[in-house]
Structure 1
């Protein structure tokens, strides 16, 4: 079956607000870097952001909904700390706009919102890859099915069961699940397998995770045609997204922040609540994440903090709710 273009949006939350009660997670940043290097060789045009605020994710997915067509493949990747709600019906991803751990429903990006956004993207195949604690909850949400349609297939590849943590192993640059994903992509390269269907990748991931030590069992859900070619070798690698815009000139050694809205002549696209942040002289992307070895294993929920990456400017403090008392 013919596929148009392949698009991927990657988000890794590795650095959080000081005093918010959430520890940094360096592996989430290196996960994004590894996938950003690997996916273009399989036909994907990639947009990646480390340590986004919640509004940026929402605006990025709105842009994707207007750009992706019914013949395309769209992949959304989220990695970082996540919190399971009391009813075990939704999980919330902590972002740079998360101020207080106890108020995760207000300050985190919910999985239900991600599924609603995915449902508005009219791709032939939509894949949501989650690397966080409790990510298997995604396969039980009603939105997991409504994210697809009669003309599209949807898959959720979750790193762990809905009541279990996901692990980032100290001393290893990647988390356990994303490391398995990157290894699977490399195995397909070495075996000259091309194209690679959605079902082939899901089965290879399960086998790879079984071969790794530790108590972490992925949960996968495929609705629709699992034989669709998710990966197809691309030489040369696919180009970057056409609407990428770099913010203020970056200093040497620092990566640049890509904008979710098009900036022209120092102005801003109408309706972009994120543009004031981008116009700030301090608008810089995060630097490379660093892993500090530790004797104890750590989970994606309670990871031992390593050397924190460079941070961009702090988002403005909340105005609608008072700071909770400790």
Structure 2
């Protein structure tokens, strides 16, 4: 079953090298990083807060890069994504290493061995890993980013969906004059335009198949992919081109509503993820805030719907959320599952609040006294 990750329990590290001392520059890589970070923050995608998406542009050392990857792999409980764009190089033993600004051909110590990233992901806490590689493997000139055909096999990680740029030595993978590299540009276009006649969610398996056809049709190298476990079912965003089989009208009754692919509450781990999924319910329903209010029979107003979806803390009572879910058309059995998640999160946040140490605030009397003493010390220092 396809699903979007919980943004509160998900981390991303975007790495890109556009400037090199000994290799051809790849200026489009800088645009790749900026645009992909913005895409991951969109509510229609993962909705990642800025602190959950680290961007490393032209990192100077492998240690700096690995520190960010290890932190993300340790902090993420749902999904961790690692993206690299730049030159990819192959050492004499045919192992992949990612080029840093000072990297040289055939000198793995000047770059970042991919096996280091792989090991960090394997030892992290995240249940799912995504690796996206948009890189050259032979260090050829700008516009020709190629390499050995078995590179995707080298880069695969258990529990991961790996999406890699084409292995063949082909021109126009980083076309001069274009804002993005061909591979990442196609990925960004798909997120923005969607896949016609595609699934409701842009799961990685569907993304790979669409990009492979689209890039090949434009005379550009086709990407590679490797899927371990259920990585292909993880979604990168909603499909803007999706049209329900029954048309654009929202379902009129619960029987038809149960046929929709409702966001599952089973993958929710954080309060942020709860509200992200709750918002996705309305998008799936095809209803506006006003329509949700009308279908609730007046139990929730349009303003209440808006306030509910923009909260940062859990509501203390369940009635409004239940009315919202039912009005959207969510089946009763799933509403019960949502309530169980709400109760779990409410219990967890209550316990966390109780465990926080209470820092006593000074009384107004003590605060005034401290201010007077500080003023006296300041005047004495001025006189001296």
TM-score normalised to the size of structure 1?
A: 0.60
Is 1:206 matched up with 2:212?
Answer: yes
Is 1:93 matched up with 2:127?
Answer: no
Partner of 2:38: 37
Look up the SS of the partner of 1:10 in the other structure. Answer: strand
Partner of 2:226: 221
- Alignment equivalent of 1:7, drawn from 7, 11, 21: 11
Kindly indicate whether the alpha-carbon contact (under 8 Å) linking 1:128 and 1:155 is maintained by their aligned counterparts in 2: yes
Kindly indicate whether the alpha-carbon contact (under 8 Å) linking 1:94 and 1:104 is maintained by their aligned counterparts in 2: no
Q: Which runs of 5+ in 2 are unaligned?
A: 138-146, 239-275, 281-384
Is 1:180 matched up with 2:186?
Answer: yes
Partner of 2:241: none
C-alpha distance in structure 2 between counterparts of 1:166 and 1:156, whole Å: 22
Q: 1:126 Cα shift?
A: 0.9
Change (3 A) 1:121 1:97: farther
Is 1:25 matched up with 2:33?
Answer: no
Change (3 A) 1:103 1:199: closer
C-alpha distance in structure 1 between counterparts of 2:200 and 2:41, whole Å: 14
C-alpha distance in structure 2 between counterparts of 1:48 and 1:210, whole Å: 29
Partner of 1:121: 124
Aligned length: 220
Q: 1:44 Cα shift?
A: 4.5
Change (3 A) 1:65 1:22: same
Kindly indicate whether the alpha-carbon contact (under 8 Å) linking 1:62 and 1:117 is maintained by their aligned counterparts in 2: yes
Partner of 2:115: 112
C-alpha distance in structure 2 between counterparts of 1:160 and 1:185, whole Å: 20
Deviation sequence 1:264-291 (CA, Å, 0-9, x none): xxxxxxxxxxxxxxxxxxxxxxxxxxxx
Q: 1:213 Cα shift?
A: 2.4
Q: 1:122 Cα shift?
A: 2.7
Look up the SS of the partner of 1:52 in the other structure. Answer: coil
Q: 1:172 Cα shift?
A: 0.5
Change (3 A) 1:121 1:103: same
Q: 1:227 Cα shift?
A: 5.0
C-alpha distance in structure 2 between counterparts of 1:189 and 1:201, whole Å: 8
Partner of 2:135: 132
TM-score normalised to the size of structure 2?
A: 0.52
More helix by share: 2
Look up the SS of the partner of 1:167 in the other structure. Answer: coil
Q: Which runs of 5+ in 1 are unaligned?
A: 237-326
Look up the SS of the partner of 1:8 in the other structure. Answer: strand
C-alpha distance in structure 1 between counterparts of 2:57 and 2:162, whole Å: 21
C-alpha distance in structure 1 between counterparts of 2:121 and 2:11, whole Å: 13
Partner of 1:55: 63
C-alpha distance in structure 1 between counterparts of 2:160 and 2:232, whole Å: 12
Q: 1:43 Cα shift?
A: 1.3
Kindly report the root-mean-square deviation, in angstroms, between the aligned alpha carbons of the 2 structures.
2.7
Q: 1:158 Cα shift?
A: 0.8
